[in-house]
Structure 1
C-alpha cells in the first residue's frame, strides 16, 4: 500500500532530501547538499511512502514562467522500481501543474529516463545543458491539453462547474472538474491526491461521486440544449468496480447511453433518464456506473 504525501515537517523534508541525494547524487560521488538547488523554496514537492511511512519515490515541479513548469528530481527506490511508482509521482506533479494553469511541462532527461518520460507524453525537443558538468541530457516537452480544448457551450459548462462547487462543496475539495464536452460526450476528472486511501488508490465512494456528478451534468447540459429545465435527482445508481484507480481518475458519459423522454417535461410531467458512466484510470477502463435520474418539472410560479 502506497500513498502520496507532501513533505512539510523538518523531519519529512530532511528524509525527502536525503532520499533524493541517495538516489540522484551519491552514485556520482557528489556530497550532501548537492541534491538541492535554488528552486526548492518555490517548488512543489511530492513523495510516495509505503504502509510504514518509508519514502520510496520523490519528485518536484516548479514554475519557470506563468504557463510553463519544470519536472525535476523524480526518483524511485531500486527495490520498488517496476511497480508504477514513477508514474504515480509524475501524475501527482502534473496535477499540481494543471491546477496552477500550466500549459507546457519541460524536463531535462538523462538518456536512461527518456523512455519513461515518453511514456508520460513527453517528446524530445533538443539537447539540454549537461548535468553536474558531465551527464548528457535532452530537453523534453509536454503540452498540456487545455481544459477547454473541446468545450461546446463553454458558458453552460462553466455554470455547471460553478453549480457543483456552490451547491456541493465537497466536489471542489475532491478536485472534480468538467474536462471537456463535445455535445455527444461529457468527460470529468478528479484529483487522485485528494481522494487517495491508505492503499494508494482512489476511495470507492469518491469514484461513485465522480460518476454520479458526471451523469447529473450530462442531463443538465442536455436540458439546456433542449431549452428545458427541471430538478435532477438520482433515483438509483449501481456501480461495478474492476480495478483500482492509481493515476488519473476520469469519467465519460456518452449520449448514446441516455434513455428517456425529455418531452414529458414540456407537459409538466416528470421523466426518468437512464444512462451509463464509464470510469477510467488514464486510458484503462476500471468501472461502470449505471444510473436512473429523475427530472422533476419546476413548480409553476404563483
Structure 2
C-alpha cells in the first residue's frame, strides 16, 4: 500500500534529495547537489512511500506569483511505475497549489512526460529552456477551477455518486463526495463541518463510514470496468486511528491493496474482496481501514 507523506526532518530531506538525484540527475552524470535549486526553502515537497516506508515517488511545487504555481521534479521509481503514483503525487501537489491560492499551474515537461501531463489536464503553451543544457522541454499549463479533477469514466463516477445519495442518504448529509478516480487510485472527501464533534475533530464513526464507502465505491467502479454486476456488501471492517482529523477528511483506496477474484461472478459464485483504505487529514495519514467485502452475483440476491 502507498501513502503520501511530507518530509519534515533533516533525515527525511536527505532521503528525498537522494531519491531526486538518483532519478533525475545521476542518469546524466551530474553530481549530488545538482538536484537542488534556489526554490527548495520556499517550496512544498511531497513523497509517496510504500508499505515498508521506502520512497517510491516524489514531487515539488512552489509559487511563482500569487496566482501561479510551478510543478517540478516529479519522479517515480522504475519498480513502482504503472501504478498511478505519478498522478497521485501530482494530485497532492495540485491540492497544495489550490490551498495557496493558485489559479494556474505550470510545468516544464520533457518530451517523454508530455503525454502524462496532458492526461492530467495540462496543455502545451510554449517551448521552455532546455534542462541540463540538453533536454528539450515544453512549458505546459493547467488552469485550476473548482471542478478540475482526474475522473476516469465520469459517467460511472456520476452513477456511483447518485447511488450513494439515493440508497445511503446519510452519505449526502455527511458531505461525502467522489473526488478523483484514475483507474488505479480512488479518492473521496467529506465535509469536516458536517461531521465535527465537541472537540473540533471528525467523529470516529464518520471516519469509519467514509472508509467503508470508499472501499465499496472502488469495487463498484472495478466491476463496471470488468463488465460485471453484483451486489456489494461489507463483510468485515477494521480501522486503526492514529491522529484526529481537524482540517480536510480524505480517503484513498489504491488498486494495489485489492485482493480477490472478480471472475468468480462469471461462474455464478460470490467473490470475496479484501482491500485497504487510507484516511488522511489533508496530506497527513491519520488512519487505516482494512475491509472484507462480498460481491454477490445477480441470481444470488434472493437466495
Note the alpha carbon deviations across 1:94-139, whole angstroms, 9 max, x for none: xxxxxxxxxxxx99xxxxxxxxx989412599xxxxxxxxxxxxxx
Structure 2: tracts of 5 or more residues without a match:
1-65, 68-95, 105-142
Residue of structure 2 in register with 1:232 after alignment: 232
Distance 1:254 1:270 in 2: 22
Structure 1: tracts of 5 or more residues without a match:
1-105, 108-116, 126-142
Distance 1:300 1:179 in 2: 32
Q: How many residues align?
A: 171
Q: Does 1:241 align with 2:238?
A: no
Residue of structure 2 in register with 1:199 after alignment: 199
Say whether the 8 Å CA contact 2:103–2:144 is kept in structure 1.
no
Say whether the 8 Å CA contact 2:102–2:144 is kept in structure 1.
no
Q: Does 1:121 align with 2:95?
A: no
Residue of structure 2 in register with 1:270 after alignment: 270
Residue of structure 2 in register with 1:287 after alignment: 287
Distance 1:118 1:161 in 2: 26
Note the alpha carbon deviations across 1:197-244, whole angstroms, 9 max, x for none: 000000000000000000000000000000000000000000000000
Distance 1:298 1:193, change over 3 A: same
Say whether the 8 Å CA contact 1:253–1:278 is kept in structure 2.
yes
- RMSD (Å), alpha carbons: 2.6
Residue of structure 2 in register with 1:220 after alignment: 220
Distance 1:287 1:300 in 2: 34
Distance 1:167 1:124 in 2: 36
SS of equivalent to 1:299: helix
Give 1:83-98 correspondences, 5 Å limit.
none
Residue of structure 2 in register with 1:61 after alignment: none
Distance 1:301 1:239, change over 3 A: closer
Q: Does 1:167 align with 2:146?
A: no
SS of equivalent to 1:246: coil
SS of equivalent to 1:244: coil
Residue of structure 2 in register with 1:208 after alignment: 208
Note the alpha carbon deviations across 1:166-221, whole angstroms, 9 max, x for none: 00000000000000000000000000000000000000000000000000000000
Distance 1:295 1:118 in 2: 39
TM-score (norm 1): 0.53
- C-alpha displacement of 1:149: 1.7
Give 1:108-147 correspondences, 5 Å limit.
120-122=99-101, 146-147=146-147
Residue of structure 2 in register with 1:188 after alignment: 188
- C-alpha displacement of 1:299: 1.4
SS of equivalent to 1:194: helix
Distance 2:286 2:160 in 1: 26
Distance 2:145 2:177 in 1: 14
Say whether the 8 Å CA contact 2:260–2:274 is kept in structure 1.
yes
Distance 1:183 1:197, change over 3 A: same
Distance 1:252 1:124, change over 3 A: closer
Distance 1:277 1:145, change over 3 A: farther
Distance 1:247 1:265, change over 3 A: same
Distance 1:119 1:184 in 2: 23
